[in-house]
Amino acid sequence: MTEKIVAPYGTWKSPITADLIVAESIGLGQIARDGADIYWSEMRPQEKGRYVVVRRTADGQIADVNPAPFNARTRVHEYGGGAYTVDDGTLYFTNFADQRLYRQQPGGAPEALTPEGIDIRLADCVMDRRRNRLIGVREDHRAAGQEAVNTIAALDLTSGGAGQVLVSGSDFFASPRLSPDGTQLVWQSWNHPNMPWDGCELWLAPVLADGALGTARLVAGGLEESIFQPLWSPDGTLYFVSDRSGWWNLYRLSGEEVEAVTQLEAEFGLPQWIFGQSTYGFAGPDRIVCTYTQDGLCYLAAIDTQSLAFTPLDSPFTAIGGLRTGAGDVVFVGGSPIREAEIVRLDLATGAFVTLRRSGGTVPDTRYISPARPLAFPTEDGQTAYAFYYPPHNADFVAPADDKPPLLVISHGGPTGFSDSVLKLPIQFWTSRGIAVLDVNYGGSTGYGRAYRMRLNDRWGIVDVDDCCNGAAFLAAQGLADGKRLIIRGGSAGGYTTLAALTFRKVFSAGASYYGISDLGALAAETHKFESRYLDNLVGPYPAAKAIYEDRSPICHAEQLACPVIFFQGLEDKVVLPNQAERMVAALRHNEVAVAYVPFTGEQHGFRQAANIKRALEAELYFYGRVLNFQPADSIEPVEIENL
């Protein structure tokens, strides 16, 4: 056995390079079923972030469907999702560049169905075969200078056009779903200032002979009840997920009454940042297959729809999403602490799992992998917060006995979101170089019940910051991290938590903000419709609570931020505008604080191009090495650091 090399933390040479990550990794997204064929979407950094719909036929043949340069990605709610649907081999998808809906028949080229030159966007569409139309969520941006108008609309597949509005009057809509016989339509709706995870409504209406809808009735939901994934069973029973019990559980409509299908302290739902999410489906007339989350880990189960017997299914996966069922199988995106995300098919008769597509090209060498370890730690007000801890690990290196590792704390985006336990090479990039990682599910994260999710209400910039700081201090107190080399990083809302922690606390020695928020007031005034009132619940109504916004905005207190920070920003970002980063950089430059700024032309909210992902990861490592005085083993193009 080769003796390990003794070297300081942060200086270890690793085979998990930025080149490896971007060369072989893809993002796996929406799954769809069409007869015996299985479809999924792939985000390919090597193709500048293009989204490709991929089909796997019953005989195992895999091929791309939409040709380059078509990019199957919708901008409804800006975050998109539900960008395509398939019916009898015909693909219907929204193309990112022009946001038009296209039809692509088997063996044919994409043909536009919606008009050119008008900004009407569609998402989350379902086929209405009886009337030869698609029904979906429409977002109309034609009124310049005004808020977009969201509706449920039908698009005639013979004539195309802008579509016919079926449901209007609410600020937002999602999940239009037709009953199996085509006679009923169900959908979700909600209004400002709520987000769908705060509270939304589930409506049901008959579909009339002319295709219009009859009188709608409210099935479930309200201002403080969140509904997720309405779905019809094969026999026409309406199922859905609700958090009325304090946890997202499964329910169904029985006559005029709502009946609980599950009653667990577990989450069968997800925050609806994107369309088309799925946690359950019907594998036959009497069986549901579902995934649920407890303590941050995902599980599989089967439910008998007659007896409601709940049977856990053995699974090696601890993160499961996008679940779609067939007659005797289920397909999902799965991962675990030792497996990257995969498209997986489970044969329900044999219990066998088969990988259809990996997000990474080759299986990583486990000798360089640090698996996620669930961690609970004490935080403010006697509360408990949660995280996944990754200790440094590399088969070739060991640190000197008296050395303690730098710790990189990750604050996830959302902030209503979560971090999972899936093997992620960008995290292993750090751990294999001798840097510990703590991926925090701070108060406000999903996966731990409604009460935990609501902890952030009125306290964004306080609870999340406290939890990230307390997690770092917890590990440092146990000797698992160097208390003088604590780092925090995050993207979007996580970038805000990062900047707030660096500004209002003295725990961290450096940080990295990816398209992060520095000015809460500007975010409330400038962001897109979907999130334009998000902060009403997280901070307070704007501008009535302007003083609170200023009190919690790092840009208003930049003189308190005294440690080095690097900023990464997409210049085409419509969610968090570039001025959020640029103003903060200018303030730190003026205050003579070490600062670096790396902007990317052509990137939106979240980086999708391989060259930019590589540059950001390496630049971040270079920055930490310079400001924390360690020398990475990698050869990296330098980053200009002002005031160093």
Q: Are residues 206 and 321 in the same domain?
A: no
> What is d(CA 187, CA 620) in angstroms, rounded to the nearest whole number?
43
Mean pLDDT of the chain: 96
Mean pLDDT of 271-290: 97
- Residue 4 DSSP label: P
Instruction: Please check whether residues 496 and 566 belong to one and the same domain.
Output: yes
Same domain, 324 and 392: no
Read off the pTM.
Answer: 0.95
DSSP 67: P
Alpha-carbon dihedral sign for residues 302, 281, 250, 269: positive
- Dig out the tokens for 430 from the structure: 């750090």
CA distance 576 to 579: 8
Q: Are residues 213 and 125 in the same domain?
A: yes
pLDDT at 24: 75
Per-residue pLDDT averaged across 7-25, rounded? 92
Neighbour-count burial of 139, counting CB atoms closer than 10 A to its CB (0-12 exposed, 13-18 middle, 19+ buried): buried
Residue 639 lies in a domain: no
252/294 same-domain check: no
* 296: alpha, beta or left? (left if phi > 0; alpha if psi -120 to 50): left
Q: Among residues 276, 306, 337, which one ends one of the domains?
A: 276
Domain boundary among 245, 276, 307: 276
The CATH number given to whatever domain includes residue 422 is 3.40.50.1820
CA 265, 266, 268: angle at the middle one, nearest 5?
140
Distance CA 292, CA 273 (A): 18
Same-domain status, 250 and 294: no
Predicted confidence band at 1 (pLDDT cuts at 50, 70, 90)? low
Residue 415 sits in the same domain as residue 431: yes
Domain that holds residue 290: 278-359
Angstrom CA distances, 462 to 70, 211, 443, 532, 536, stand at: 43, 50, 10, 21, 15
**Boundary residue ending a domain (239, 261, 276):** 276
Same domain, 109 and 209: yes
pLDDT of residue 573: 87
Place of tokens 């205050």: 591
Output the CA torsion sign for 432, 433, 436, 442. negative
Same domain? For 286 and 395 the reply is: no
- Is 389 found in the same domain as 286? no
Q: What's the CA gap between 301 and 509, in Å, rounded? A: 44
Q: How far is CA 366 from CA 337, 360, 432, 524, 608, in A?
A: 11, 14, 11, 45, 27
pLDDT of residue 25: 85
Res. 251: pLDDT tops 80? yes
User: Does 638 fall in a domain?
Assistant: no
Q: What is the CATH number of the domain that holds 239?
A: 2.120.10.30
Q: How many CB atoms lie within 10 A of CB 35?
A: 12
Residue 361: what pLDDT? Answer: 78
Using the Cα atoms of residue 559, residue 561, residue 562 and residue 567 in order, give the sign of their dihedral.
negative
Cα distance between residue 124 and residue 138, in whole Å: 9
Total of domains in the chain: 3
Q: Is 419 within 8 Å of 298 (Cβ atoms)?
A: no
Q: Could you tell me if residue 615 is inside a domain?
A: yes
Which residues are bridge partners to 354 per DSSP? 345
State the Rg of the chain over Cα.
24
Q: Are 81 and 129 in contact (CB under 8 A)?
A: no
d(CA 199, CA 441): 21
- Range with the poorest average pLDDT among 381-395, 484-498, 599-613: 599-613
% pLDDT > 70, the chain: 100
The DSSP H or E segment spanning 428 is helix 425-431
Looking at residue 145, its pLDDT comes to: 86
Distances (CA, A) of 484 to 406, 475, 507, 586: 8, 12, 8, 26
